């Protein structure tokens, strides 16, 4: 199964200000051909931080999610700006969204969102040794910063306003990492 299907054709079938939809025509090893649609992978990478105030307290933000039409408790995240590496992007986004910077940034995982129909990736970064610093961001309204105990992670995951799978995965990875230290 290491041999990937052959890409016979790729074409843009729809486009908006934010998204492009591609049609992808593939031929599999057994000769079977299929056409799939996928969201075009953006040229800009993204980063999501797990900011730790201490070994049991993470900083979450409450932010409006247009996709779910609701306010969600989530982790700070955002796209790289031109010329930034993941460390610079992580620290900038952390300052913009959570009002903190981090002296220590550790790349935990490079995640995909839904590999069946899009190639979007996000780097999950553990942010430690925090200090207060705020930068102006691009959010349409101020974000609420919500400290949460990782020892109460089960209660957080049960909440109706915590639905983002990549956030839940990052928090579970962080809790496991801290338990192994």
- pLDDT confidence of residue 103: 98
- pLDDT confidence of residue 96: 97
Q: Is 31 part of a structural domain of the chain? A: yes
Task: Inform me whether the pLDDT recorded for 13 exceeds 80.
Answer: yes
Could you read off the pLDDT of 124-171 as tens digits, one per residue?
999 999 999 999 998 889 999 999 999 999 999 999 999 999 999 999
Could you read off the pLDDT of 70-127 as tens digits, one per residue?
999 999 999 999 899 999 999 999 999 999 999 999 999 999 988 888 888 999 999 9
Q: Is 69 part of a structural domain of the chain? A: yes
The number of beta carbons lying within 10 Å of the beta carbon of residue 61 is 19
Closest CA to 76 of 65, 90, 88: 90
Q: Are residues 54 and 90 in the same domain?
A: yes
Q: Are residues 67 and 29 in the same domain?
A: no
- pLDDT confidence of residue 120: 86
Q: Assess contact for 103 and 72: CB atoms under 8 A.
A: no
Could you tell me the pTM of the whole model? 0.88
The domain spanning residue 52 has which CATH number? 3.90.79.10
The number of beta carbons lying within 10 Å of the beta carbon of residue 145 is 15
Could you read off the pLDDT of 17-63 as tens digits, one per residue?
878 899 999 999 999 999 999 988 776 789 999 999 999 999 999 99
Q: Assess contact for 78 and 93: CB atoms under 8 A.
A: yes
Q: Would you place residue 2 in the very low, low, confident or very high pLDDT band (cuts 50, 70, 90)?
A: confident
> Which residues fall within 8 angstroms of residue 4, CB to CB, at 6 or more apart?
none
**Residue 128: domain span:** 46-180
Q: Are residues 22 and 57 in the same domain?
A: no
Phi/psi at 11 (5° precision): -145, 150
Q: Is 113 part of a structural domain of the chain? A: yes
Number of domains in the chain: 2
Q: Would you place residue 1 in the very low, low, confident or very high pLDDT band (cuts 50, 70, 90)?
A: low
């Amino acid at each position: 199964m290491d041999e990937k299907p052959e890409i016979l054709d790729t074409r843009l079938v729809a486009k908006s200000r934010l998204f492009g939809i591609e049609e992808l025509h593939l031929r599999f090893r057994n000769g079977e051909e299929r056409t799939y649609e996928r969201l075009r992978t953006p040229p800009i990478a993204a980063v999501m931080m797990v900011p730790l105030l201490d070994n049991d307290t993470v900083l979450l933000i409450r932010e409006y999610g247009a996709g779910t039409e609701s306010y969600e408790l989530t982790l700070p995240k955002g796209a790289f700006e031109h010329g930034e590496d993941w460390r610079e992007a992580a620290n900038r986004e952390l300052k913009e969204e959570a009002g903190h910077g981090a002296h220590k940034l550790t790349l935990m995982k490079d995640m995909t969102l839904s590999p069946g129909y899009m190639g979007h990736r996000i780097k999950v970064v553990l942010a430690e040794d925090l200090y207060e610093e705020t930068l102006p961001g691009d959010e349409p309204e101020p974000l609420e910063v919500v400290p949460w105990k990782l020892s109460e992670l089960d209660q957080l995951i049960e909440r109706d306003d915590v639905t983002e799978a990549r956030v839940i995965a990052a928090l579970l990875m962080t809790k496991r990492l801290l338990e192994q230290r």
